[in-house]
Amino acid sequence: MMHINTDYFQIDDLLTEEHKLVRQSVRDFVNQEIKPVIDQHAHEHTDIPGLMQKLGAIGALGPYIPEKYGGAGLDQISYGLIMQELEAGDSAVRSSASVQSSLVMFPIHQYASEEQKMKWLPKLASGELIGCFGLTEPNHGSNPAGMETKFVDKGDHVVLNGAKMWITNSPIADIAVVWAKDEAGDVRGMVVERGMEGFSAPETHNKWSLRASKTGELVFENVKVPKENIFPNIKGLKGPLSCLNSARYGISWGVIGAAIDCYETAVKYSLERTQFGKPIGAFQLQQKKLAEFLTEITKAQLLCWRLGTLKNEDKASPQQISMAKRNNVKMAIDIARESRQILGGMGIVGDYPMMRHAANLESVITYEGTHDVHLLITGMDITGINAFG
């Protein structure tokens, strides 16, 4: 099989043996379990059966959560490499792992009581339980501070009312980490469990993106949530926003996987496909595309590696993470779109991954903060002036 170098600046030299082993095991999993079936699931808009348990079995759920709670106790570079390999398979697979790890296990590990951690984390790590994260609402996406979902204190329980929208995996989730306002208007986090009276999670149909995973709503109609399900150690919007830092960091790595999958496909095709008596890879215009893809992938890899080392030292700022998420997702979606052109007509069929990656990345460039929201976060960091409101 032809080897295509996607480590142009020898970043592998900066990785440990453990990082490389983790990456290889997830790459093997994706090659065996995801790539052969992903086109069919995307076409049919169906989940990959048992995906969460399979991800749990390879240690891809909560990789950086301590082993005591069922995690793998790995560092942030390993987490990033896992996301990269999963998204080379499909953004829907990475999304499922992102949400479970960074948006469900992370807040429980960070903000829950010891009892709550022991109750939920090990089962989430193994994939026995599937979690989802409810922040976005029908009327409040980019501006979650405006959320209307609220709860009132009723002694030993609270009563929750409201709705969340665009929630990854909500239709198949056993538990939902939900952010809602108390009577004083403070944002609090809690776990709402499937089966609680008044709680439903209808699916959002007709998506043209992330078709191999489910997205839906969370609807709360006078749901009685026991007080022991509320996280004791967090109050305010920084609770959910801190989870986003972890997920956005993972996305910065993940999308490199999608870009590499498109790049490798385009290089191979350009050497095999002949027009005007030459492989199309012999034409300068096609070489320009390939050279720019590899340059952009390399820049994204370096950004992520450095961000990962900062994150390991707990020094990565939310603004640095925003810059990486914004830059890398744009890099990946541009490569998916441009590389499709190298395949001509063949680029539009499901035998090749570009259309699927490009369609998936339309969600990725929107969720976890839109492309423009991340630009405004950088703009505010530069000028000190808030241009949101």
Q: Least distance from C-beta 101 to ligand FAD, angstroms?
A: 13
Measured CA distances, 81 to 69, 257, 307, 356 (Å)? 21, 9, 13, 21
Residue 141 binding ligand FAD, by CB under 6 A: yes
User: Tokens standing for 221?
Assistant: 């109609």
Residue 372 binding ligand FAD, by CB under 6 A: yes
Residue 170 binding ligand TGC, by CB under 6 A: no
**Scanning residues 315 to 334, which ones bind ligand TGC (CB under 6 A)?**
318
134 binds, among ligand FAD, ligand TGC, none (CB under 5 to 8 A by kind): ligand FAD
Residue 244 binding ligand TGC, by CB under 6 A: yes
Nearer Cβ to ligand TGC, position 72 or 329?
A: 329
Q: Least distance from C-beta 55 to ligand TGC, angstroms?
A: 13
Residue 136 binding ligand TGC, by CB under 6 A: yes
User: Tokens standing for 322?
Assistant: 């925003």
Which residue stretch of 129-137, 186-194, 228-236, 261-269 sits at the interface with ligand FAD (rule: CB under 6 A)?
129-137
Cα gap 292→337, rounded to integer Å: 13
Nearer Cβ to ligand TGC, position 256 or 342?
A: 256
Could you tell me if 178 and 134 are in contact, meaning their C-beta atoms sit under 8 angstroms apart?
A: yes
Mode of pairing for the β-strands spanning 131-134 and 175-181: parallel
Cα gap 98→360, rounded to integer Å: 15
Residue that has been written with the tokens 């005591």 in this structure: 68
Active site residue 272: no
Residue 98 binding ligand FAD, by CB under 6 A: no
DSSP of 83-132: HHHHHHH-HHHHHHHHIIIIIIIHHHHHHS-HHHHHHHHHHHHHTSS-EE
Q: Least distance from C-beta 62 to ligand FAD, angstroms?
A: 16
Residue 102 binding ligand FAD, by CB under 6 A: no
Cα gap 175→223, rounded to integer Å: 14
- The dihedral sign for the CA sequence 139, 168, 122, 89: negative
DSSP of 221-273: EEEEEEGGGB-TT--STHHHHHHHHHHHHHHHHHHHHHHHHHHHHHHHHHHH-
Question: Given candidates 99, 124, 223, 323, which one binds ligand FAD under the rule CB under 6 A?
Answer: 99
Which helix or strand (DSSP H or E) is residue 361 part of?
Answer: helix 354-364
Question: Given candidates 6, 84, 95, 116, which one binds ligand TGC under the rule CB under 6 A?
Answer: 95
Total binding residues toward ligand TGC, as defined by CB under 6 A: 25
User: Tokens standing for 215?
Assistant: 């997205």
Q: Least distance from C-beta 373 to ligand FAD, angstroms?
A: 5
Torsion of CA 135, 139, 145, 149, to 10 degrees: -60
Exposed, middle or buried: residue 67 (CB in 10 Å: 0-12, 13-18, 19+)?
exposed
Residue 377 binding ligand TGC, by CB under 6 A: yes
Other beta carbons within 10 angstroms of residue 315's beta carbon come to 10
Question: Given candidates 42, 60, 99, 121, which one binds ligand TGC under the rule CB under 6 A?
Answer: 99
Nearer Cβ to ligand FAD, position 2 or 382?
A: 382
**Scanning residues 199 to 228, which ones bind ligand FAD (CB under 6 A)?**
210, 215
Question: Given candidates 245, 270, 286, 339, which one binds ligand TGC under the rule CB under 6 A?
Answer: 245
Residue 375 binding ligand FAD, by CB under 6 A: no
Could you tell me if 91 and 357 are in contact, meaning their C-beta atoms sit under 8 angstroms apart?
A: yes
Which residue stretch of 109-117, 164-172, 317-325, 341-349 sits at the interface with ligand FAD (rule: CB under 6 A)?
164-172
Residue closest to ligand FAD when measured from CB atoms: 141
Which residue stretch of 55-63, 128-136, 273-281, 287-295 sits at the interface with ligand FAD (rule: CB under 6 A)?
128-136
Question: Given candidates 78, 84, 100, 168, which one binds ligand TGC under the rule CB under 6 A?
Answer: 168
Other beta carbons within 10 angstroms of residue 70's beta carbon come to 22
Residues that bind ligand TGC (CB under 6 A): 95, 98-99, 133, 135-136, 142, 144-145, 168, 236-238, 241-242, 244-245, 247, 318, 367-369, 373, 377, 388
Q: Which residues are catalytic?
A: 368
Residues that bind ligand FAD (CB under 6 A): 99, 132-136, 141-142, 166-168, 210, 215, 363, 366-370, 372-373, 376, 388
